[in-house]
Each structure stands twice: as C-alpha cells, then as structure tokens.
Amino acid sequence: MDEIKNTTISFRQRVLAFWQLFLEQEYEIRYLLNSLEDFEAANKFLGGLLATVFQHPVFLLRKQEEYYQLEVSADGDISRLYGLNYWRMQAPSAIEEQWDILVGKLPAEDPTQVEVRMEGLSIRADEIEIWPLFEPGGRLGLEYYSPEMLQLKPDMAYTLFCTMLEQCIGELCLMTNIAYINMLEAANFEEPLLLSELADFIADWQLAGQLPPQNDPLGLYSDYEMTEQDGMWELRKDIRSGNVSAAALPVLNCYYAQVDYLFWEQAEEGLIWGFLFYSGAGLTAEQRMHICNGLEEDLNRIAAREQGVGECVGIAVGLEYMYLDCVCYDWDAFLEIAAQLLQSYGALYQIQTGGFSQLYKGGQTIELL
Amino acid sequence: MRMENNPMEVLTETYSEEEQRNYAGGFCGFVLLEETQYDLPALLVRLQKEWQITPLEAPTVQEMEAGNLVFEIPGAMITVEFLPMLIPEGEAVYAARHNADWVDAVSVAENHKAHLMAAVLPLGMAPLEAGKVYVKLLSSCLAGEHAVAVYTSGTVLEPGAYQRVAQSMREGELPIHNWIYLGTYETEAGSNAYTVGMDAFGKDELEILGSRRSAEELKKFLFDVARHVLEEDITLHGGALVGFVGDEGLPMQRRDGVMVEGHSIQIAY
C-alpha cells in the first residue's frame, strides 16, 4: 500500500509556520524594496519563505504607494486554488496593515496595452478578435482569430493566447467563466469583440445574471454522470452521478484516468485529496441522501469552519456506496473528525461498511466502521 | 552546570485556567557575514556530516544558488536564506550592545555586509528537540566561510563561544546559553534581570524586578530557573512558588512584561 512520501508535515502546519515566519521577517522584504530597491533579492527571499509551504511557488511581488502586494498564482492548475485559498485565509490580520495578499493573477490595468512580441511578430490584445459563446451551465466558450497567431505553431499560439487572456481578464475570472477556447482559421461572420474588451463584457453579463456573479472558481459546482464500469462493486466504480466543485474536478479526472501526478504534487505539500464512503445497503434512497447531506454539513461545519483541517468538495451516488469528496489540510485531524461523524451516523442507521480513501489509484483506504 | 546538589522544585498553590500563554513558535536567528557570499551547499554537507541532519528530500542546487536552503526533516522545517545586505535598521548593532562578554560585538555587527536568516519551524517536533536542531543549524552556519557572529535571542554572540556550547550537547548538556539571553539592568528600585528566548519553547519569559541582590546573582538564579523549566517542561503559573528544595519558596506573578514583550513570570528574588 502506497504511503504519503516526502513529508511528515500537514499542509495546515506548513501554512501556520509560513505566516509566523512571514510576520517576523517581512520587514526584510520591505527594507529590500524601499531602502535598497533590490527587487531581485526581495523576490529570492520571499521565494525562500514561500518554499516552506509550496514546492514550486508562482508569485509576483509589487510595491504600491501605501502598501505591498503579494500575488500568488495557481499557474493554470485550478485544483491548487483550495490550498492557495486556505493559505490566504490563515494570514494574520497584523500583516494587512502593510500587505495585500492575493490569490490569482490580477488583470492588467489597461488591457489595450497587453502585447506580446515574438518571432518578429507583435500581437496586441486590442487586435485579436473573439466571439464569446454562452454555454449551458453559465460559462463562456471563446473562439478567436488572429492572423499573427496563425503564423505560429498551434501549441505556441494556444499558450500565447491563454497568457494574453489571463492578462486581460485575470486568473480567477478565466477559471470561473471560460469553459474552452478555440482558434479559428478565418474570422467569423458575426461582429467580434476584441480580447481587450472581454473583461468589461464578462462584468456586464455577471451583473445581468448570465454568468457567475463573482470570480470565484471554488464556488462553481458541476454535475456529472458515469457509465457502467467493470468491477462495479469496487470503490467508485459503482458511481452513477455526482456533483463536485469545479476546482476538484481535475483531481477526480486524474483518478479515473489512473494518472496520479496531481494528487502526489499536492501530497508533497501535505495537502491530501480523498473521499469518505459508506455502504447504503439496507437504507432507502431518502436515508442515503439524508446521511450524505448531514455528513457534508457536519464536515464543513466542524472540519472546515471550526477547525480548519479540511472540507467537503463534492458528493457522489453509487449503486452500493455513497461518497463525499474531500480535501484535507491536516490529514490526521480530518480523519479523526470524519471517523467520529461516520461512526455516529453508522450507529444510528446501522451502516455496515464505511471508511476513508485517498484519491489515487490503489490509494490508502482506512476502514472507519 | 547541573544543580546536582541543589535540586529545584516548583511549589504550586493555585492555577489560573484563564491565563493565556505567550505565543510559541519556531526558532529564528541570523548569522552575520563579512562578505556578500556564502556557500549553502557546503552548509548542507556540514549539517549531515557533523550533526546527521539530513533532508527528507534534497533541495536543488538551483534553489541553493538562488540563496535559499529549505528542507524538511521529520517533524520540522528548516530554512536558511542568504540576504546580501545588512540586517535592517541597525538592529544587529543594537543587539550587540547587550553582550558585555564580547568586546568586539558592536564593531563586528557594524561591519557585517550580508547575513543568513536561519529558522527551524517545529511542526510536530517537541520544542526542546527543535531547539537543539536550531543550535546545530546555527553552529554549522558559523563554521562556514565569512561567518563572523550570530544574532539570536536579542543579542550577538561570538562564533567560538556559540560553537563550544553547541558541542556540549554531545555530552548531554542542554545549550541554554545559546537559547536564552540573560539581561540585567539597574533602576532606583534595585537590580533587575530578564530572559529572552523562552517564548520559542512556549514558555513565559522570566523577570526579577527591584532586587537587592547583585546582577550576577540574578543571572545565575534565572539561568537555573530557565534550565529547570526547559529540562522538565514545566509551565510556571502566577501565584505559585519557586525555589531550591530546602529553601523558602519564592512567590511568582504572571504580569505584563517590563523588559520583554507579552507576559512574563516575575519572581520575587
């Protein structure tokens, strides 16, 4: 049975230690920026502090007039937002006098100035034509046309467009509102927007209620259905439908694709993805959902809000089992709470089987009933 | 330095359940450098060879060349960062003035050109063990080229003295002198003394105020109390008594610190 390697320290402990160290040492960063104007050294120092939490932190340090800004990015991996958001929420209030701590790259102040020059080309955001398409579920597909980008290799053009898109609308807005992007080989007949105008377009439709009201990827949930699988009485193979946070979906997709890199990358930082499960044998459908909803509510009340050790991010219904997908910031502490809750429901409803499993193929499973 | 013949005990009378402890966190200090360069890979080798401190996962050369050494050991995180600048705002020079035992402390502090920030963050490791790791870490840092002093617990210490105390750990001694600074000062009320460094262990700092005893007596007494508290992992409470076995117990109060931040245990000695 695989075990968590390379760390004995929970994500929660790392985060608390970081903020303690940051609180004590942030004056050195300010001194480097103010007195020495040595941004390189300040970035290196801050990178070292962030390395106590994140294996490969992606961040931007800015000095504003009245305060300092630290912007930490998920670098394209929406599943990292849980950890980043948790890290941000643990920041001591004392630092807020001097620091603005942000999760997600901000958009450029003036998107018309977003420009990339490469391979002799100049590609400007106010010259790229786009056609936003409203998708079911309240997000946007984007088709875009740029004669300059067509001169590049497709993967280069895609990467470049994503970068410019993020610069124009911001990282969290992109993750929340954009479902897919597609490069066109010729301009669409319909009247286009310009990429530099997309941020205002999204803001208008958010106000109109046609898009998510806030740029909060953690607030988006997706329903999904599964087809019948071989070995359907094994854990998770009996699932027929579920509802999961959009930010957790990549981890789930990796699990089903039997590709575990997302799990292990975050496990190295002490953050563990897993699921609580229990057998529904002998229970009515109504009882199954009642228990599931109760567990979800109790987990989020105790584990998330009261103790800050983890949270429930989705629910799935199987033929044999019910599942609650979770992200654990302190695996041991979260497991203890989950065990107590499952055992109390188990005793009340005569549930025979239940446990907690880590979300990778062959993941460590602990029986709790 | 053990008080074999004069064991100490704490005679507790009352406990207050509402007392709040000072914040207990990691261990953090600075190594002053006379040049703007330092060999972090060599430090990692020394830690492993001299003290058997081995990362669970080795840091990359790239990270170390960027001036950062961050790694995990069971129960703790260790971080050493190189900063190519003086410790800001003359802080090291101010702290150096507190070390009357080292004549050159102030001039060394004034002339340093760069420094290392070195921290041990106990995440599951007992504070006492983390404190030992911290001393080992600073001792290894001081063995590197260009290291000229260590700034920790509010004072600046000479490398040789620090390393001698560190080596005494091999004989089972606790490196109290490397952990705890003992300060004294005079006021109209008399002699006063205080500790700096107990908070890293989750303990209140200790103070003696307005005593008629000499500064040396106060330092010796506070040293013994601090050692006893750390060795036995005792939490002192206001309203209790402390003293050597056979002697009359001395009353303690937990109040706002006078020379230290937060609360302190003030002993009537």
As given in the structure block, the two tokens for residue A215 are: 């740029």
Phi, psi of A20 (to 5 degrees): -65, -45
User: Cβ–Cβ of B67/A48 closer than 8 Å?
Assistant: yes
Residues A118 and A31 in one domain: no
Q: Which residue of A has its CA nearest to B200?
A: A20
Residues B212 and B90 in one domain: no
Residues A49 and A83 in one domain: yes
Is the Cβ of B186 closer than 8 Å to some Cβ of chain A? no
Residues A350 and A235 in one domain: yes
As given in the structure block, the two tokens for residue B54 are: 């081995």
Alpha-carbon gap, residue A274 to B240, rounded angstroms:
48
Residues A342 and A235 in one domain: yes
- Interval A2-20: pLDDT, tens: 444 445 689 999 999 899 8
| Average pLDDT value over all residues in chain B | 87
Q: Which of B146, B177, B208 is the last residue of a domain?
A: B177
User: Residue A12 has what pLDDT?
Assistant: 93
Q: Is residue A147 part of a domain?
A: yes
Alpha-carbon gap, residue A42 to A61, rounded angstroms:
8
The domain that holds A227 is classified in CATH as 3.30.70.360
Domains: count for chain B = 2
Residues A180 and A272 in one domain: no
Q: Is residue B154 part of a domain?
A: yes
User: Residue A118 has what pLDDT?
Assistant: 79
Residues A254 and A298 in one domain: yes
Q: Is residue A322 part of a domain?
A: yes
Mean pLDDT (whole number) for B81-86: 92
User: Cβ–Cβ of B68/A51 closer than 8 Å?
Assistant: yes
DSSP string, A78-125: GGGHHHHHHHHHT--GGGGGTEEEEESPPPPS-GGG-EEEETTEEEEG
Q: Is residue B3 part of a domain?
A: no
Chain B residues with CB-CB distance to A39 below 8 A: none
Mean pLDDT (whole number) for B104-123: 94
Is the Cβ of B246 closer than 8 Å to some Cβ of chain A? no
Q: Is residue B69 part of a domain?
A: yes
Asked if residue B20 has pLDDT above 60, the reply is no
| Average pLDDT value over all residues in chain A | 91
Residues A188 and A268 in one domain: no
Picking from B99, B66, B97, B90, the residue whose alpha carbon sits closest to that of residue B80 is B66
User: Residue B18 has what pLDDT?
Assistant: 40
User: Residue A361 has what pLDDT?
Assistant: 83
Residues 20-39 of A with CB under 8 A from B: 20-21, 24-25, 27-28, 31-32, 35-36, 38
Alpha-helix residue ranges (DSSP H) falling in chain A:
11-34, 39-50, 81-89, 147-150, 154-169, 171-177, 198-207, 249-256, 261-267, 285-298, 331-349
User: Residue B22 has what pLDDT?
Assistant: 42
- Interval A42-86: pLDDT, tens: 999 999 999 999 988 999 999 988 899 999 999 989 999 999 999
Asked if residue A166 has pLDDT above 80, the reply is yes
Q: Contact, B188 vs B210, CB < 8 A? A: no
Name residues whose C-beta falls within 8 Å of residue A29's C-beta, 6 or more positions apart in sequence.
A42, A45, A46, A61, A68
Residues A98 and A140 in one domain: no
Report the predicted TM-score, pTM, of the whole model to 2 decimal places: 0.86
Longest dimension (CA), chain B: 60
Is the Cβ of B124 closer than 8 Å to some Cβ of chain A? yes
As given in the structure block, the two tokens for residue B240 are: 């209790």
Residues B95 and B84 in one domain: yes
User: Residue A137 has what pLDDT?
Assistant: 78
What's the pLDDT band for A232 if we cut at 50, 70, 90?
A: low
User: Residue B4 has what pLDDT?
Assistant: 32
Query: Which residues sit opposite B193 in a β-bridge?
Result: B184, B208
Q: Which of B131, B161, B177 is the last residue of a domain?
A: B177
Residues 262-281 of A with CB under 8 A from B: 268
Tokens 């019910």 belong to residue: A322
User: Residue B26 has what pLDDT?
Assistant: 85
Q: Is residue A148 part of a domain?
A: yes
Asked if residue B13 has pLDDT above 60, the reply is no
User: Cβ–Cβ of A48/B121 closer than 8 Å?
Assistant: no
User: Residue B53 has what pLDDT?
Assistant: 97
Q: Is residue B1 part of a domain?
A: no
3-state secondary structure of B195: strand
User: Cβ–Cβ of B68/A52 closer than 8 Å?
Assistant: no
Residues A255 and A337 in one domain: yes
Q: Which of A103, A136, A162 is the last residue of a domain?
A: A103
Mean pLDDT (whole number) for A305-309: 92
Asked if residue A293 has pLDDT above 50, the reply is yes
Of the candidates A9, A48, A49, the beta carbon closest to that of B124 is on A9
3-state secondary structure of A184: coil
Residues B92 and B217 in one domain: no
Asked if residue B94 has pLDDT above 90, the reply is yes
Q: Is residue A117 part of a domain?
A: yes
Number of other residues whose CB lies within 10 A of the CB of residue B62 = 8
Mean pLDDT (whole number) for A306-333: 94
Residues A87 and A119 in one domain: no
Tell me: ipTM over 0.90: no
Chain A closest-CA separation from residue B129 CA (Å): 16
Asked if residue A236 has pLDDT above 80, the reply is yes
Chain A closest-CA separation from residue B121 CA (Å): 6
In terms of residues, how long is chain B? 269
Chain A closest-CA separation from residue B50 CA (Å): 23
Chain B residues with CB-CB distance to A31 below 8 A: 85, 88-89
Residues A94 and A130 in one domain: no
Share of chain B above pLDDT 70, in %: 88
Q: Is residue A269 part of a domain?
A: yes
Q: Which of A87, A103, A119 is the last residue of a domain?
A: A103
What's the pLDDT band for B2 if we cut at 50, 70, 90?
A: very low
Residues B161 and B188 in one domain: no
Residues B142 and B204 in one domain: no
Share of chain B above pLDDT 90, in %: 67
Asked if residue B43 has pLDDT above 90, the reply is yes
Q: Which of A184, A207, A230 is the last residue of a domain?
A: A207
User: Cβ–Cβ of A21/B121 closer than 8 Å?
Assistant: yes
Residues A285 and A346 in one domain: yes
CB–CB contacts below 8 A, A to B? 83
Instruction: Identify the domain containing residue B69 by its residue range.
Output: 27-177
Q: Is residue A121 part of a domain?
A: yes
- Interval A115-126: pLDDT, tens: 998 778 889 999
Q: What single-letter DSSP state applies at residue A200? A: H
Q: Contact, A214 vs A41, CB < 8 A? A: no
What's the pLDDT band for B198 if we cut at 50, 70, 90?
A: very high
Asked if residue A104 has pLDDT above 90, the reply is yes
Q: Which residue of A has its CA nearest to B82?
A: A45
What's the pLDDT band for A217 if we cut at 50, 70, 90?
A: confident
Picking from A308, A138, A302, A141, the residue whose alpha carbon sits closest to that of residue A220 is A138
Distances (CA, A) of A271 to A266, A316, A360, A361: 5, 21, 13, 17
User: Residue A119 has what pLDDT?
Assistant: 76
Residues B218 and B136 in one domain: no
Is A1 or B22 the better-scoring residue by pLDDT? B22
Asked if residue A1 has pLDDT above 60, the reply is no
User: Residue A338 has what pLDDT?
Assistant: 94
Q: What single-letter DSSP state applies at residue A351? A: -
Asked if residue B102 has pLDDT above 90, the reply is yes
Picking from B32, B91, B255, the residue whose alpha carbon sits closest to that of residue A24 is B91
What's the pLDDT band for B235 if we cut at 50, 70, 90?
A: confident
Q: Is residue A54 part of a domain?
A: yes
Is the Cβ of B83 closer than 8 Å to some Cβ of chain A? yes
To the nearest 5 percent, what fractions of chain B are helix, strand and coil?
A: 35, 30, 40
User: Cβ–Cβ of B72/A51 closer than 8 Å?
Assistant: no
Q: Contact, B157 vs B104, CB < 8 A? A: no
- Interval A315-328: pLDDT, tens: 999 988 999 999 99
Asked if residue B37 has pLDDT above 60, the reply is yes
Is the Cβ of B58 closer than 8 Å to some Cβ of chain A? no
Phi, psi of B125 (to 5 degrees): -75, 145
Alpha-carbon gap, residue B135 to B229, rounded angstroms:
18
Instruction: Identify the domain containing residue A134 by its residue range.
Output: 111-207
DSSP string, B208-242: EEEESS-HHHHHHHHHHHHHHHHHHT----TT-EE
User: Residue B27 has what pLDDT?
Assistant: 93
Is the Cβ of B72 closer than 8 Å to some Cβ of chain A? yes
Alpha-carbon gap, residue A259 to A224, rounded angstroms:
19
Domains: count for chain A = 3
Chain A residues with CB-CB distance to B67 below 8 A: 41, 44-45, 48
Residues B227 and B258 in one domain: yes
Is the Cβ of A17 closer than 8 Å to some Cβ of chain B? yes
In terms of residues, how long is chain A? 369
Asked if residue A135 has pLDDT above 70, the reply is yes
In this structure, of A232-246, B103-117, B142-156, the range with the lowest mean pLDDT score is A232-246
Range among A344-348, B19-23, B234-238 with highest mean pLDDT value? A344-348
User: Cβ–Cβ of B67/A45 closer than 8 Å?
Assistant: yes
Asked if residue B98 has pLDDT above 80, the reply is yes
Q: Which of B177, B210, B229 is the last residue of a domain?
A: B177
Chain B closest-CA separation from residue A30 CA (Å): 10
Q: Contact, A7 vs A268, CB < 8 A? A: yes
Of the candidates B63, B74, B77, the beta carbon closest to that of A14 is on B77
